Chain A
């Protein structure tokens, strides 16, 4: 009796501070049709759709050297099926009003998913007013569009479909078109386990595809790995780029070659035709600030700037070499306004040659 009392006391001593978790039996597999979020102990009762067994394959992103972990929303994890579905949607003109314009219509893979045109024409023959951004390494961006009007890729993909100067359709109409396609119906079922194709899942698939667009196989990358040599001109360009002589790195730094920030780089001396970030934030101090694009694949992405005003890389370099134009929101990194970098012709040439080492031919030829 005494011994049992002692055992009882010791047991109390051990367990007195802990609260046992409540065990709830049920199906714990989210892929099952009878999954319950309350269950924490699988009792083997899971039931699956026998016709379309929902089972996806994770799409593995290997983080490139010097890149952060990719920002992937919890509710849109990457799958092989989702990326493939997104690729098809990206190239499908049925996302536009008259079935004539797909995302790829303005974001051409040969141009690193940008457009060779200064502006593009929408389905109603209305000309846009900004150059189509290159789509590259988007999974590491923290905002999208030249003015940062979208904070996620899913949010960004919503907009062009209904934009009057782009695809000018309605989501209701697009959903109807896609639901009438039995192939899409099966793919969406297999990818997201849904019975009705809606806009939310369409943009999720497109976003997954866009996150898969990763480019880190340029001559520069091979040089970093010791696989190739850069020429003397390219090396000199690298030095100009990465010192205050050219001062490119402050905005186009790190292995991503961009800073995820917005700058006014002195394109105009006030009277801005496009307020950029200022139009979104409503803050006059943000007027004429635009998101820094990566300069990876910059050789393929001309014309340049938010309005495509420069046709060649040489023109871009010349803009910085002359110092740009003063306006109230110009970035202090443009520290020699009207004077510029004062590079020699050889140095300008070296800088362009270095920029071309960032070209990843495998990316545009996949």
Chain B
């Protein structure tokens, strides 16, 4: 008799406390934010913070390994990243976001809240620059905001641009269009994996990372690439941009 009564009390206690335990578990997770920044190396004055100022013909680059730097500006910068994830110390992958569209002219696109992430030790932040060919198909994302801006014609392989980087060089009226994407259906998207040291536990609070794109580095290391137009069907150029992008275009910094 007493045993049954104690059991009843225990069950009632468990029924009440189970809800509280769930809530406490949620609280211990940290919220992860991302900011997207873009920089250029200003020559000869390298004392500035190199933060990109759109539509300013002040940035310098040495194309084709030239000693004489060339002025250039950025007027538009749009790009897609996908398969955004964190890798934990045990090798498991924690997916964060499928696809994200960055428009340098749209401030709201420069921050991304990825919600809560579970307690764990994370060693790498990963993303794919552009879209994998398995999903990079014409009209595959008609309801996404990037559909009209980033569409890549079927004549040249179909799908979506990875990046549209546009501006002037030499002078205000000479323009370049660095448009990368699945030229003639070949997949030139690439993975970027950046090492991080992030131990998320209940006391850490919100976390903020900054992913920076060093725009100059698209045009050098290992390939010196001159400003040019009409590269959407130039498979050699697309491969060169891919290689440069994989090398040192992106840096990541933990803000907190």
Taking Cβ atoms with an 8 Å cutoff, the residues of A that contact B are 2, 5-6, 8-10, 12-13, 16-17, 65-69, 238-239, 242-245, 249, 253-256, 258-261, 285, 326, 328, 330, 332-338
Let me know if B64 is at the binding interface, CB within 8 A: no
A211: min CB distance to chain B, Å: 17
Which A residues lie within 8 Å of B4 (CB)? 2, 5-6
Instruction: Please indicate which of the listed interface residues A66, A328, A332 has the most CB atoms of chain B within 10 Å of its own CB.
Output: A332
Q: Which of B138, B143, B167 contacts A332 (CB 8 A)?
A: B167
- Nearest-neighbor residue (CB-CB) of A261 within chain B: B149
Compute how far the CA of A69 lies from the CA of B147 in the bound complex, rounded to whole angstroms. 12
Compute how far the CA of A309 lies from the CA of B110 in the bound complex, rounded to whole angstroms. 39
Asked whether B233 lies within 8 Å of A259 as measured between CB atoms, the reply is no
Extra pairs beyond A332-B76, A332-B166 (5, CB < 8 Å) = A6-B4, A66-B139, A68-B147, A261-B149, A335-B229
Give 30 CB contacts A-B under 8 Å. A5-B8, A6-B4, A6-B7, A6-B8, A8-B8, A9-B11, A10-B11, A13-B11, A13-B12, A13-B15, A16-B18, A65-B139, A66-B139, A66-B142, A67-B142, A68-B142, A69-B142, A242-B154, A243-B156, A243-B232, A244-B229, A249-B151, A253-B153, A254-B147, A254-B148, A332-B168, A332-B177, A335-B176, A335-B177, A336-B229
Compute how far the CA of A242 lies from the CA of B107 in the bound complex, rounded to whole angstroms. 30
Let me know if B68 is at the binding interface, CB within 8 A: no
- Count of CB-CB pairs between chains A and B under 8 Å: 99
Asked whether B11 lies within 8 Å of A337 as measured between CB atoms, the reply is no
B227: min CB distance to chain A, Å: 10
Asked whether A259 lies within 8 Å of B173 as measured between CB atoms, the reply is no
Compute how far the CA of A5 lies from the CA of B4 in the bound complex, rounded to whole angstroms. 9
B83: min CB distance to chain A, Å: 23
A66: min CB distance to chain B, Å: 4
Given contacts A12-B11, A258-B148, contact A238 B155 (CB under 8 A): yes
Asked whether A12 lies within 8 Å of B230 as measured between CB atoms, the reply is no
Which B residues lie within 8 Å of A5 (CB)? 4-5, 8
Asked whether B229 lies within 8 Å of A249 as measured between CB atoms, the reply is no
Asked whether A255 lies within 8 Å of B11 as measured between CB atoms, the reply is no
Asked whether A242 lies within 8 Å of B11 as measured between CB atoms, the reply is no
Asked whether A69 lies within 8 Å of B143 as measured between CB atoms, the reply is yes
- Nearest-neighbor residue (CB-CB) of B165 within chain A: A332
Let me know if B201 is at the binding interface, CB within 8 A: no
Instruction: Give the size range of B's interface with the partner.
Output: 35 or more
A246: min CB distance to chain B, Å: 11
Q: Is the interface of A mostly helix, strand, loop or mixed?
A: loop
Taking Cβ atoms with an 8 Å cutoff, the residues of B that contact A are 1, 4-5, 7-8, 11-12, 14-16, 18-19, 55, 75-76, 138-139, 142-143, 147-149, 151, 153-156, 166-168, 172-177, 229-230, 232-233
Compute how far the CA of A244 lies from the CA of B237 in the bound complex, rounded to whole angstroms. 15
Compute how far the CA of A13 lies from the CA of B55 in the bound complex, rounded to whole angstroms. 64
Asked whether B15 lies within 8 Å of A337 as measured between CB atoms, the reply is no
Compute how far the CA of A254 lies from the CA of B138 in the bound complex, rounded to whole angstroms. 9
- Nearest-neighbor residue (CB-CB) of A253 within chain B: B151
Which A residues lie within 8 Å of B173 (CB)? 326, 330, 337-338
- Nearest-neighbor residue (CB-CB) of A18 within chain B: B19
Which A residues lie within 8 Å of B18 (CB)? 16-17
B180: min CB distance to chain A, Å: 13
Which A residues lie within 8 Å of B16 (CB)? 16
Asked whether B155 lies within 8 Å of A332 as measured between CB atoms, the reply is no
- Nearest-neighbor residue (CB-CB) of B168 within chain A: A332
Which A residues lie within 8 Å of B166 (CB)? 332-333
A230: min CB distance to chain B, Å: 13
- Nearest-neighbor residue (CB-CB) of A240 within chain B: B155
Compute how far the CA of A259 lies from the CA of B161 in the bound complex, rounded to whole angstroms. 14
Given contacts A2-B1, A13-B11, A69-B143, contact A332 B153 (CB under 8 A): no
Given contacts A17-B19, A259-B148, contact A9 B156 (CB under 8 A): no
B80: min CB distance to chain A, Å: 15
Which A residues lie within 8 Å of B147 (CB)? 68, 254
Given contacts A10-B11, A12-B15, contact A242 B155 (CB under 8 A): yes
- Nearest-neighbor residue (CB-CB) of B150 within chain A: A253
Which B residues lie within 8 Å of A260 (CB)? 148
B230: min CB distance to chain A, Å: 4
Asked whether B230 lies within 8 Å of A244 as measured between CB atoms, the reply is yes
Q: Which of A2, A69, A254 contacts B151 (CB 8 A)?
A: A254
Asked whether A332 lies within 8 Å of B75 as measured between CB atoms, the reply is yes
User: Which are the 7 A-B pairs with shortest beta-carbon distances?
Assistant: A242-B153, A332-B166, A242-B155, A16-B15, A244-B230, A332-B175, A335-B175
B237: min CB distance to chain A, Å: 12
Asked whether B19 lies within 8 Å of A16 as measured between CB atoms, the reply is yes
Which A residues lie within 8 Å of B142 (CB)? 66-69
Compute how far the CA of A242 lies from the CA of B18 in the bound complex, rounded to whole angstroms. 60
Which B residues lie within 8 Å of A334 (CB)? 175
